[in-house]
Structure 1
């Protein structure tokens, strides 16, 4: 192993991460990234309002099925590719180094944009909360920057600390949402309990492409189980189990929670309630069914939920950067591991600075933290991750057909192929309805691809192109480093 001689790192420190995370700890990490309360309180109301209304809960179930099929192939790869790079590594093994590097950059785009979108939302919620309690009226982006700083401190330290913090917050936010659903079920809701959200006519109503974007966005992070391979206990067993547990748990919880939200106000009224103020729908629901105590509790937990979300994504991104550094794609120092905390601390600092700069730019352009920062960049992240997962599904099929290392047809061909089809259809729908999400519509409400839509979608094209160009440059100028990319013999 290469020894390091950088500030804060002893010369004997190595570039390999170590740990003993079990299935539960890893599931907490990635489900916290999915941020249950942020989704139920922030994304679900927007999915109902901008998406397909009453039918939105069904899209969580549909997304879960698609992503579970994808997870089958992902789990098969984790057994045969003992590397922590996830998409970056798996695409490289299946489709070659250049495509693997392109996948690495689109993954960086996806995780960075979803993280910074939540930073915008948490800044808004904290600003509104403090003001409502009689505190000073401070700009949202100052709260966002303060959150970035705190996340940076935790990300600098050992992963066990982050997992414990995330575990406590996750249990609290899941508990309060389930309590709300129970209260709705016991009371019978506003118009009685029904399966209206799962009726075909409701599912395809409104703008299902926008709804699907918000639904898939809720799952972003579950596939990152593979990134924690080096820090997992018995990774060949722990990682597949954590992956399945994460996607199934997320799917069931969000479907149930959003159904409860619709039932709380009734199919005839939920759209009007969401339109009144999507940002406070969860608070009003809690107040109606759990009283003032429920409203205050969920207000606090909504902030901690978003904090848990950005902390989890911070850990994911820093480990992606660590893997890319060790493959010779990013500067060598980014792959440094702290001697005492055993964390990718330089990578953590890089990600902290990146997030702070982006929030500063959004503040400079006076973007709305919810309708623009959160909604726009969550859309970019979801489109990027859907395409990335689709490419990974193809890589899984190609890898096993070429190597014959796993002859289980369902695990290595059929499930990945079905997942690929579902993800491609999802990506097409997201693109088709993208203008509605960013407000690019004509007087009649018809989606029109304007400048904002094209610029945001262009990011999903530009980043993988950067990866391909970098791969060509490395191959021409640094052939030894190119041979090291994703540690694959394919090319």
Structure 2
């Protein structure tokens, strides 16, 4: 029976979890730094980004500054990580952005952030099935097997659905194997392109900083940020890490460095092999095949075929990681009764989120089926649209989290330096806030011709999600005050961690 509604914060229950809030626990101490790095770098899907997104960015923007764009974004996200990691030392919660916003801006805005996170990560995960199915059908076609995209997508879906319920450390080993092969083939391709430059001489035009002054550079920056989506999931796996405070920090910085350097190197290698003056034209005419066409004369058909196969496994790895991310967000929300309590259940044998994983699989199956029946294009209408939408949501969450870090440490510095608790978070807020605004302004042109007004329904969905989260938070606060008191706390908090605050006029809001 629910208690009578309360209207004052002083009547809220104590911070420790009452017996009615007993929840299943995720598997503990399963992941080290290397495993978490494998998870988040795999989510970034290096081969997919380099062969697909980087080339597409050049073709769409007609700007060759993509290599320097990746490096600058890596620096910007490293600054974001300063405050993000500092907060991870004091808040250990699989809810990540949801928990951080709850602690920094208040429970009400935390629930709103949770709604945005569920939309964003589901969009990312489900959208990837379009690319997986499409590339899978092309790979099979190379071997003389003709099959539509959706049966390939369903095979990937079934494997992800099964792995999502198994031991997270097993998933880490699967991802480690795939990622190692993927990075190795990328480095082989890079070496082939750099050692065979167009015109016989290495050129560094696309790495020149003055290209950042190009009027349309913002579009390149937006696309570059999308390539990093997934690195922030280090916090999502914090409860399963062997040493959350150290593991999250190290894994986050390593992931940003690896992704940034790999993207920057590979995008520059593409420009070296084509010649900067020909990069745009070839990107437009050859698309994702550009990298494979460039290296074919030097590495042979076998390594090119292997690269295309790893392109497929790259997509699969990203699918698996985003599935885990959604499942753990759902678990964190179910554990605290923001979602139905069933979402707080785990598979007893493996410690994996049970209901959250199954719910995500059911949603993905429904979307795949809808696209297959409707006959919509899996790349244009599913992959490009949904993953770009998901990237926008993650960008909104990162900007909000930067502000939350400032709010969290403003009440108690907790031993953190002014760089960690103020200077870096302020810089990250400005950087990410500006990119978020620019992404929203140019969202239509990133996906389709400006006349295609229907694409604006997807950014608007985030406004609806935010509003829905706020309304639900007010309902919970009014009628279920014991649940409201637990928002953002998780099952166990580091000693001395404060309860998430109530929002007030002193709190900044994004």
Q: Same fold (TM over 0.5)?
A: yes
2:383 is aligned, of 355, 361, 374, to 374
Answering whether residue 293 of structure 2 is matched by residue 291 of structure 1, we say no
| Aligned twin of 1:336 | 345
Q: Contact 1:35 / 1:309 at 8 angstroms: preserved in 2?
A: yes
**Range that drifts further, 295-304 or 189-198:** 189-198
| Aligned twin of 1:246 | 255
**SS of aligned partner of 1:473:** helix
Closer, same or farther: CA 2–125 of 1 in aligned 2, 3 Å? farther
1:359 is aligned, of 356, 368, 373, to 368
| Aligned twin of 1:231 | 240
Q: Please report the TM-score for the alignment, with normalisation by the length of structure 1.
A: 0.92
Residue 2 of structure 1: how far off its partner (Å): 10
CA offset digits 1:388-423 (Å, max 9, x no partner) = 111100000011011231341000100011111111
1:56 is aligned, of 59, 66, 70, to 66
Corresponding residue pairs, total: 476
Closer, same or farther: CA 356–205 of 1 in aligned 2, 3 Å? farther
Q: Contact 1:56 / 1:203 at 8 angstroms: preserved in 2?
A: no
| Aligned twin of 1:484 | 486
| Aligned twin of 2:49 | 39
**SS of aligned partner of 1:80:** coil
1:266 is aligned, of 251, 265, 275, to 275
Residue 460 of structure 1: how far off its partner (Å): 2.2
Q: Contact 1:69 / 1:416 at 8 angstroms: preserved in 2?
A: yes
CA offset digits 1:133-173 (Å, max 9, x no partner) = 2112x221221122111101011100011100000110101
Answering whether residue 196 of structure 2 is matched by residue 187 of structure 1, we say yes
| Aligned twin of 2:130 | 120
Closer, same or farther: CA 211–359 of 1 in aligned 2, 3 Å? farther
Structure 2 counterparts to residues 140-155 of structure 1, below 5 A: 140-155=149-164
Answering whether residue 121 of structure 2 is matched by residue 111 of structure 1, we say yes
**Range that drifts further, 205-214 or 353-362:** 205-214
Residue 179 of structure 1: how far off its partner (Å): 0.9
CA offset digits 1:356-390 (Å, max 9, x no partner) = 11222233443322233222222212221111111
Structure 2 counterparts to residues 432-447 of structure 1, below 5 A: 432-441=441-450
Q: Please report the TM-score for the alignment, with normalisation by the length of structure 2.
A: 0.89
Q: Contact 1:318 / 1:344 at 8 angstroms: preserved in 2?
A: yes
Distance 1:2 1:400 in 2: 27
Unaligned ranges ≥5, structure 2 = 1-16, 490-498, 503-510
Answering whether residue 131 of structure 2 is matched by residue 129 of structure 1, we say no
Unaligned ranges ≥5, structure 1 = 5-11, 442-447
| Aligned twin of 1:276 | 285
Residue 199 of structure 1: how far off its partner (Å): 3.1
Q: Contact 1:2 / 1:15 at 8 angstroms: preserved in 2?
A: no
**SS of aligned partner of 1:277:** helix
Residue 174 of structure 1: how far off its partner (Å): 0.4
Distance 1:451 1:228 in 2: 38
CA offset digits 1:111-137 (Å, max 9, x no partner) = 11111222111111111121222112x
CA offset digits 1:89-109 (Å, max 9, x no partner) = 011001000101111111112
1:73 is aligned, of 50, 70, 83, to 83
Q: Contact 1:40 / 1:258 at 8 angstroms: preserved in 2?
A: yes
| Aligned twin of 2:495 | none
